[in-house]
Amino acid sequence: MLAFPFRVPGLLAALACLVPLHAGATEKIPVGRVLGTPAITAGAGPLYHLWRDESGFHLRWVGRGAQAAVRDKKAVFTGLIQVVGGKVSMIKPAGMVGGDDSVNRLDAQRVMFKSECVEAIEGVDFKAGEGATSIYMELFVDYEVIAPQTVRLGGAATPATDISPMLQLDLTAPVGP
């Protein structure tokens, strides 16, 4: 369910105003690194998983519920997704069940999300429209930039240790080896 609008702390509100989001960005990740569906374990987080399959892109997050020291402590996942050279042609929540969870389309190219998660697997599914060349993401947990090794890519769930602090996905890169 899409909810409009939602309140965000100053950090995310400032991110929504960034034009372009990718200014000063580092090297882009080839789209081939996010192919395949990963096995995701609920409560093993906080973690993000990003993959692509025939139905589009999938971004999932899991809370830290399985960690005994922080059991039942909600993690707040927030982020901004921007499609460059095209539009976000489809966006929908996946498994988001909290009362404050929301996905907001800021404009044709940008979407913002917020979700409070203890142990469930939640996320968003989206597609980049025709002409899209890149996808840029700013990902946060508890309103702080997430460590790159906590973002997992593709079916192998490879840690994205080379991103900092934003994920930049090159849609024009060859998919094969």
pLDDT tops 60 at residue 88: yes
Q: What is the model's pLDDT at position 19?
A: 39
The candidate with the shortest Cα–Cα distance to 111, out of 96, 124, 97, 129, is 124
pLDDT tops 80 at residue 171: yes
* Whole-number average pLDDT of the chain: 82
Give the residue-averaged pLDDT of 113-118. 89
Question: Edge-to-edge strand order for the sheet containing 47-53?
Answer: 88-94, 121-128, 56-62, 47-53, 151-153, 158-159
The count of other CB atoms within 10 Å of the CB of residue 55 is 9
Query: Is 102 or 18 the better-scoring residue by pLDDT?
Result: 102
Give the model's confidence band at 89: pLDDT under 50 very low, under 70 low, under 90 confident, else very high.
very high
Tell me the residue ranges of DSSP E strands in the chain.
29-30, 47-53, 56-62, 75-84, 88-94, 102-105, 110-117, 121-128, 134-141, 144-145, 151-153, 158-159, 166-170
125 and 81 Cβ atoms separated by less than 8 Å: no
pLDDT tops 60 at residue 120: yes
Query: Is 148 or 94 the better-scoring residue by pLDDT?
Result: 94
Give the model's confidence band at 5: pLDDT under 50 very low, under 70 low, under 90 confident, else very high.
very low
Query: What domains lie within the chain, and their CATH numbers?
Result: 43-170 (2.60.40)
